[in-house]
């Protein structure tokens, strides 16, 4: 054991010599012997956070961990963070269960360390003492030599190396060690902050202003179903494919006939055409009109095209379906859509209209937007989302620019059972029908 320790000490002394410049001083920090069980404490994660909730453990008793391996996921009211190990070793105690509250400064786990390590708390105490003496003294057998460069930020070579490997300027890292030393934890917290702040714009916190709360808003009637179905869909790997379609002919055709239908009490939007095109394309790619049985790993292809329509209602999002679209005319589809919209407004859509949908469409373009990533309604395997029709310059056959009506469509497919080529093929057929409404009407 003693020889191992000496070897370790020697290696570090040599490393220090290599990196140390002439104006640097040395000091000695104490070390923890291999086999020692050290408490791995929850360090200060900033923002004044005093306690956190344990959300998930990545380790259990007896697990072997290396430095930077994930230990657990914690959540405070301000942030969530992944806590990573400072040591190589074996987990000898886990101090909390999931959902327990852990206090900053208290041990999360105990680790039996495998290799000699610098004990940061001890080292800080020692460094202060040694600094006072301003001597390089190696009387204690397993002390480790560490550089202090008066021109540099105070820290250990290991931390300096960690910063260098991650392109971090030590001067940017808020130091929490004694006498302004940057600890390994400081680097890790800084790296986590960097990754958070690159994706999230952090609001500035003005502590002297009180938060003004509004009224409580209970989840609406239909939104409860959305909660359930969308949570379910989280486990589905979504493959998304988008394209744009020139629907100028379709827009023109609808404009020509809609007033006549209005006189008959039928409101004809573009949606019935999109629905019919979905059904026509399904005739060519029937495997997409299906339900997935995850447990049996089986796909049930359905002959009826029961097209589900995402519908915005005063009670939230609801997805009724129009049954057997393959047998319906555009006008019949429009009538069904009108009926469902009227019932949706008064939150009275019967269960029969909500069940047994086989394929979904969502027209968010009524509100705005171009592209969206729609979320699959399990057990279905495909959903299409439409953006807002835009007037955009396009070329005609004579290469003359003209104002075209362009709509973007985004398809999300369950990538466990639908491959990209099948989705792209389906999308192209659908596009053909919405770009050539005469073929849709003729049933060609
Ligand atoms: N781009 C431009 N205009 C559009 C459009 C689009 N993508 N979609 C519809 N419009 C037009 C319609 O043609 C209609 O115009 P008109 O007044 O000249 O006839 C108008 O917008 C209103 O249409 P609307 O009555 O809503 O009917 P619709 O048949 O087009 O759409 C629903 C029906 C149910 C799809 C739609 O009302 C709805 O609820 N959409 C929201 C879906 C949703 O919330 N999706 C999100 C899921 S996360």
Q: Is the distance from CB of 225 to CB of 412 less than 8 angstroms?
A: no
CATH number, domain 223-442: 3.30.559.10
Q: Is the CB of 365 under 6 A from ligand 1?
A: yes
What would you report as the CA-atom Rg of the chain, rounded to the nearest whole angstrom? 32
CA distances from 147 to 6, 177, 329 (A): 18, 16, 82
- DSSP character for 380? B
Residue nearest to atom 18 of ligand 1 (CA): 269
Q: Is the CB of 310 under 6 A from ligand 1?
A: yes
C-alpha of residue 150 to centroid of ligand 1, in Å: 68
Contacts of residue 92, Cβ cutoff 8 Å, sequence gap at least 6: 37, 61, 109, 110, 111, 112
Q: What confidence score (pLDDT) does residue 31 get?
A: 62
C-alpha of residue 81 to centroid of ligand 1, in Å: 41
C-alpha of residue 345 to centroid of ligand 1, in Å: 14
Pocket test residue of 363, 370, 391, 434 for ligand 1, highest count of atoms within 8 A of CB: 363
Structure token digits, residue 29: 């920090």
Contacts of residue 193, Cβ cutoff 8 Å, sequence gap at least 6: 46
**C-alpha span between 192 and 185 (Å, rounded):** 10
**C-alpha span between 229 and 231 (Å, rounded):** 5
C-alpha of residue 312 to centroid of ligand 1, in Å: 9
C-alpha of residue 384 to centroid of ligand 1, in Å: 14
Q: Is the CB of 309 under 6 A from ligand 1?
A: yes
Structure token digits, residue 429: 């057929």
Q: Can you name the CATH fold of 32-117?
A: OB fold (Dihydrolipoamide Acetyltransferase, E2P) (2.40.50)
Mean pLDDT for back-to-back runs of 10 residues, the chain (444 residues) = 30 30 34 83 74 88 87 76 84 92 90 70 36 32 32 73 82 82 84 68 56 84 80 92 98 97 97 98 98 94 98 91 97 98 93 95 94 95 98 96 98 97 98 96 70
Structure token digits, residue 121: 């708390």
From the list 196, 396, 419, 439, the catalytic residue is 419
DSSP H/E element including 358: none
415 has catalytic annotation: yes
Q: Is the CB of 408 under 6 A from ligand 1?
A: no
C-alpha of residue 366 to centroid of ligand 1, in Å: 4
C-alpha of residue 272 to centroid of ligand 1, in Å: 11
Q: Which atom of ligand 1 is nearest to the CA of 267?
A: 19
419 has catalytic annotation: yes
State pTM to two decimals. 0.59
Pocket test residue of 251, 342, 365, 366 for ligand 1, highest count of atoms within 8 A of CB: 366
Task: Tell the burial category of 154 from Cβ atoms under 10 Å away from its Cβ (0-12, 13-18, 19+).
Answer: buried
Q: Is the distance from CB of 374 to CB of 410 less than 8 angstroms?
A: yes
Residue nearest to atom 44 of ligand 1 (CA): 312
Q: Is the CB of 271 under 6 A from ligand 1?
A: yes
Homologous superfamily, domain 157-218: E3-binding domain (4.10.320.10)
Pocket test residue of 255, 269, 312 for ligand 1, highest count of atoms within 8 A of CB: 269
Residue nearest to atom 13 of ligand 1 (CA): 269
Q: At what angle do helices 157-165 and 2-19 cross, to 10 degrees?
A: 60
Q: Is the CB of 317 under 6 A from ligand 1?
A: yes
Q: Is the CB of 385 under 6 A from ligand 1?
A: no
C-alpha of residue 363 to centroid of ligand 1, in Å: 6
CA distances from 216 to 43, 194, 242 (A): 35, 34, 38
Q: Is the distance from CB of 441 to CB of 330 less than 8 angstroms?
A: yes
* Sequence ranges of the domains in the chain: 1-30+118-152, 32-117, 157-218, 223-442
The residue to which tokens 């495909």 are assigned: 382
Q: Is the distance from CB of 403 to CB of 415 less than 8 angstroms?
A: no
Q: Is the CB of 312 under 6 A from ligand 1?
A: yes
């Amino acid at each position: 054991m003693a020889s191992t320790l000496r070897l370790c000490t020697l290696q570090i002394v040599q490393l220090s010599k290599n990196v140390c410049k002439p104006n640097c001083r040395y000091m000695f920090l104490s070390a923890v012997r291999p086999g020692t069980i050290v408490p791995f404490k929850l360090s200060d994660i900033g923002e004044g956070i005093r306690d956190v909730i344990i959300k998930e453990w990545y380790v259990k008793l007896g697990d072997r961990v290396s430095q930077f391996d994930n230990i657990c996921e914690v959540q405070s009211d301000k942030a969530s963070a992944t806590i990573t190990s400072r040591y190589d070793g074996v987990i000898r105690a886990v101090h909390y269960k999931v959902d327990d509250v852990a206090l900053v400064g208290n041990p999360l786990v105990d680790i039996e360390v495998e290799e000699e390590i610098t004990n940061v708390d001890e080292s800080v105490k020692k460094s202060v003492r040694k600094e006072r003496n301003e001597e390089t003294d190696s009387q204690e057998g397993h002390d480790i030599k560490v550089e202090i460069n008066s021109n540099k930020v105070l820290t250990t070579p290991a931390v300096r190396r960690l910063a260098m490997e991650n392109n971090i300027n030590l001067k940017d890292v808020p130091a929490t060690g004694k006498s302004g030393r940057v600890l390994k934890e400081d680097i890790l917290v800084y790296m986590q902050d960097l990754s958070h702040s690159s994706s999230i714009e952090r609001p500035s916190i003005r502590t002297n202003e009180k938060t003004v709360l509004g009224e409580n808003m209970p989840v609406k009637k239909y939104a409860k179903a959305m909660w359930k179905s969308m949570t379910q869909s989280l486990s589905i790997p979504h493959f998304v494919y988008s394209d744009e379609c020139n629907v100028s002919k379709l827009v023109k055709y609808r404009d020509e006939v809609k007033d006549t239908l209005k006189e008959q009490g039928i409101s004809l939007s573009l949606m019935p055409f999109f629905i019919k095109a979905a059904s026509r394309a399904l005739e060519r790619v029937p495997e997409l009109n299906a339900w997935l049985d995850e447990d049996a790993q089986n796909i049930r292809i359905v002959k009826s095209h029961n097209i589900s329509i995402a519908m915005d209602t005063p009670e939230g999002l609801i997805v009724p379906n129009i049954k057997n679209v393959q047998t319906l005319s555009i006008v019949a589809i429009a009538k069904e859509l009108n009926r469902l919209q009227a019932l949706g407004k008064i939150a009275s859509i019967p269960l029969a209209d909500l069940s047994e949908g086989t394929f979904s469409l969502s027209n968010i373009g009524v509100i705005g937007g171009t592209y969206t990533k729609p979320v699959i309604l399990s057990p279905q395997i495909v959903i299409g989302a439409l953006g807002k029709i835009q007037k955009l310059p396009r070329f005609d056959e004579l290469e003359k620019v003209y104002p075209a009506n362009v709509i973007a469509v985004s398809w999300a497919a369950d990538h466990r059972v639908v491959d990209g080529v099948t989705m792209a093929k389906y999308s192209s057929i659908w596009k053909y029908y919405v770009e050539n409404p005469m073929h849709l009407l003729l049933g060609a």
